Amino acid sequence: MNPYIQTNDNPDITKERKNASFDVEKFSEFYVGGKRVLAVRREVEKYVEDRKELRDPIPSAFMSREELIDNSMRKMVEMVSHEDMFDITNIEKLSYYASLVHVREVHALSLHYLMFVPVIQSQGTSEQIEKWMTLGLARAISGTYAQTELGHGTNLSKLETTATYDSKTQEFILNTPKISAAKWWPGSLGKFSNHAVVVAILYTNGECKGPHPFVVQIRDTETHKVLPNIKLGDIGPKMGINASDNGYMIFNNLRIPRENMLMKHSKVLPDGKYIKPPHSKLAYGGMVFVRSMMVRDIANHLAIAATIATRYSSVRRQGEITPGKPEVQILDYQTQQLRIFPSIARAIAFRFAGQELRNIFKKVSKQLTQGNAELLPEIHALSSGLKAVVTFEVQQGIEQCRLSCGGHGYSMASAFPELLGFSCASCTYEGDNIVLLLQVAKFLIKSVEKIRSGQGSDLAEICEYLNRKEARNSTLNDFKTYTNYDIVSDIEFVARRQVFRAFNKFEEAKKTMSKEHAWNSSAIEFCKASRWHVKLYIVRNFFKKVDQDAPQEIRPVLKNLARLYAFDLIASAAGNFMENGYMHFEQIQQIKNGFYECLSILRPDAVSVVDGFAINEIELRSVLGRRDGNVYPALLEWAQNSSLNKKEVLAPFEKHIGPMMKKARSML
């Protein structure tokens, strides 16, 4: 039932695959979103595998930054030239195609398609869409999104770049008043974009109207030289994603036409009169779109890490459990399972949450086109919370998987350093995680205020648990009879208590200090509340997805993974559940026993589960996690790509170390 079995594979990994208790292909179909989706993925994989021009000539770990950028640009041009694959009407197919070609790199058109074009589409008038999207989709121009500033990250209201309207010339004047206002970090800005959507503080008729987006040409479309009154450059190497030219930008009285302000929602008339948007949160649509894409995609990086760690642990033999017996597969050690298996469960939980977020976003997008923004605050809070929780836990999970691979996990050959660099960045871009958790908290505050004012029946569906009657104690007796409903109820209790605790602390603090200082003094408790709120959603969605949607033949393995995720969550936060006697020690011990049993049940299926993630070798980009399990000869082959191995004696030795030793020998 595992199609990954082939001849000449490592016998240990073949043995693992023969142990599968479920149909791996059925698992893959459900995991990726359906049989049709899996078929498209396989089509794209075969296409990329068969075309060397779409792949790296050598492992990217052996490339300099200049070589990384050159290779990325080469692949990007090749990628878009294959029109049968580069289909902008099929986002799923296109995004997977791009991910296989570039893997964990960000190419020069990444922000163009992820931010520049979607923002124009969501916030531009029909005339603006016709003008810039036509050019953008034809790749006649290349764009990026410039919001973040050197001294300002996610605090949108405190941006310092100004756009002052001049009614005499009907132009906006863009300025960078001081160094902290320099645009800093936008991908593809440093060297390759010639247009940007710039977020600046709007001033018109002497009044400040807050941040608004403007389309700005920043380079000549023929010569690609920077236009007058603009300074641009690359910000230098980073912890990862170094094929991207993240850049800086400074304006000095740059004039742009009035029509360059994106005016679907807000408008500035020729005389400078400002027309405010019909709904203050309509601008959130673009951010929600990006975060809805992020959650599922970042979850995939944890799936990659878990795949690498699980496969490697099945072929790595070290130590012995029974004295005198051969060395054992390290996957047999319970401590190894503890490091890896929760990440397998989290990867699935996060992917399902990301899929559901995408579904909700599609529903909200349709409502927005009809002028209905009722669900926008709810999905903004959900997308913010999921982005914050998922990116943080993915980063932690990747590190645990790296540690599970010992010294080899430190090598670039493992792919873990690259994965860690990518995941660390995701904790910050598109909203710092702590800031996003506090945005969720503001949504929760409004929900509690509704309950306190007797409007509890008007809560968003995701917050209905806040209005339920408090339970006195958990009803858990035996983990084997601990139902999904019981698990969700217990997590609801802890989440609800934390939300009200944070709210009450905030209300109490407001009695002795300003609202702003009270907010700051309650921020830690609110972050805890937001995390519990989001984790409750993830657990509930995981159970719902398995119980209602999963095919019968793969439901047992998914049920075990869902319970593993929930037991791990509760056991890791035992103090929260034991507080005030809601759970007692024996109940927590039952949770731990259930967790250990889930590890044991998963052990024979572990390799087949990660096979079920359907991650292609190109995307995996790991010697340790290769499908055939033949790790050691592959590591030796990989090492031969090092430029240091091209010459037997290196010049630095002849220049420095050699003379030193020669001198030392002469003195003996």
The one-letter code for the residue type at 592 is K
Q: How far apart are CA 437 and CA 382, in angstroms?
A: 10
Token pair for residue 442? Answer: 């503001």
Q: How far apart are CA 422 and CA 427, in angstroms?
A: 9
* Cα–chain center distance at 493: 28
Out of 25, 29, 418, 430, pick the active-site residue.
Answer: 430
The one-letter code for the residue type at 542 is F
Nearest to 297 by CA among 226, 230, 357: 357
Nearest to 294 by CA among 187, 423, 441: 423
CB atoms inside a 10 Å sphere around CB 103: 20
Helix 334-369 / helix 555-572 crossing angle, nearest 10 deg? 100
Side-chain-side CA neighbours of 242 within 13 Å: the count stands at 17
Q: How far apart are CA 281 and CA 390, in angstroms?
A: 24
Pair 618, 103: CB distance under 8 Å: yes
Q: How far apart are CA 140 and CA 134, in angstroms?
A: 9
SS3 state at 212: strand
Token pair for residue 328? Answer: 């054992």
SS3 state at 151: coil
Nearest to 118 by CA among 132, 97, 104, 98: 132
187 is in an annotated binding site: yes
CB atoms inside a 10 Å sphere around CB 483: 11
SS3 state at 440: helix
Exposed, middle or buried, 43 (CB in 10 Å: 0-12/13-18/19+)?
middle
DSSP 557-589: HHHHHHHHHHHHHHHHTHHHHHGGGSS-HHHHH
148 is in an annotated binding site: yes
Spatial CB neighbours of 615, under 8 Å, sequence gap ≥ 6: 300, 303, 304, 307
Greatest alpha-carbon pair distance for the chain in Å reads 92
SS3 state at 277: coil
Exposed, middle or buried, 418 (CB in 10 Å: 0-12/13-18/19+)?
buried
430 in catalytic set: yes
Residues acting as catalytic residues = 430
- Binding site, annotated residues for FAD: 148, 187
- Binding site, annotated residues: 148, 187
